[in-house]
Structures are given as C-alpha cells and as structure tokens.
Amino acid sequence: MQSSAAIAEHFEPVFKDIRERATVTERFIDRDLYRVYISTLWSNVVLSPDEVGLDEEDLPELHDIVIAEISDAIGAIDSLHEVFQFISSKDGERAMLEARLTQSHKDLLQYFASMILDPDGHKRYMDYVREKQKK
C-alpha cells in the first residue's frame, strides 16, 4: 500500500494532462469534457490498478485524491457518483459524442456508471448476461 503523497505525486502528470486537454481558453475548463476524461481515468485504473503501479487497497486513497483534484479543477463534489451520473445523462452522452469516443470507450464508461449508480441492478443484469451466455 502506498502513501497518499506517493499516489498524488504519481498521478500529478495525469491530472495536469487532463486539465490541459479539457482547457478551452487559458482559464476556462470544459467541465463536460473534464468529467469524460476523469471517468475514463477512474474506469481504467479500477480495471487494472497494477498497470499503474497500484494495489487494489490503494483505490480508496486514490478516490479521495481524484475528488480533491476534481473539486480544485471544476468545483466541489462529494464522490465519483456525481461524475458517473453525468456520464449516464443526455449531457454526458453529448459530451462523449463531442469527444469522439469510440463505441467501446463509451460502453466502458456506461458500464462503470451502471456499477456505480445502481450496483444491485448492475449485478442482476450481469447475472442475466452470464445465464444467457451459458445457454
């Protein structure tokens, strides 16, 4: 397990890149695009924490660091639930289209949104999919 400072330092270049990519003018960050990038970061890290040098036990600490980064960049939020709520919205769909995400990228973000926003419904759906695959 890594310290909070080590995790923050490790992800600082990623956060800087996300801010730069979402910046429209010198001081204006496109909040929608920023949320698309942050949700992409979180989804990828959760899928394979070892690929970015983290253990699964580091994820709660990273979550808090990501929340602090989001709050600093585009305004205070309490959890990533709000980011994934946006991804599931019509505005989120529009932002993903404007960002020219591939269908598999959009599917990944929507998959994570379903897990975060409705974990019980997601589990029921995945159980249904597994049953269909067995037949």
Across the strands, what pairs with 25? 28
- Of the given ranges (5-9, 10-14, 35-39, 119-123), which has the lowest mean pLDDT? 119-123
Spatial neighbors of 11 by CB under 8 A, at least 6 apart, are 62, 65, 66, 69
Between 102 and 115, the higher pLDDT residue: 102
Please give the mean pLDDT across all residues of the chain.
89
Q: What is the mean pLDDT of residues 84-92?
A: 94
Ordered alpha helix ranges (H), 75-117: 81-87, 90-98, 103-117
Strands (DSSP E) found in 4-131? 23-25, 28-29
Average pLDDT rounded to a whole number, residues 33-43: 95
Nearest to residue 42, comparing CAs of 63, 14, 61, 13?
A: 63
The mean pLDDT of 22-37, rounded to a whole number, is 92
Could you give the angle at which helices 31-47 and 90-98 cross, rounded to 10 degrees? 90
Q: Is the pLDDT of residue 126 over 70?
A: no
CA max distance for the chain: 56
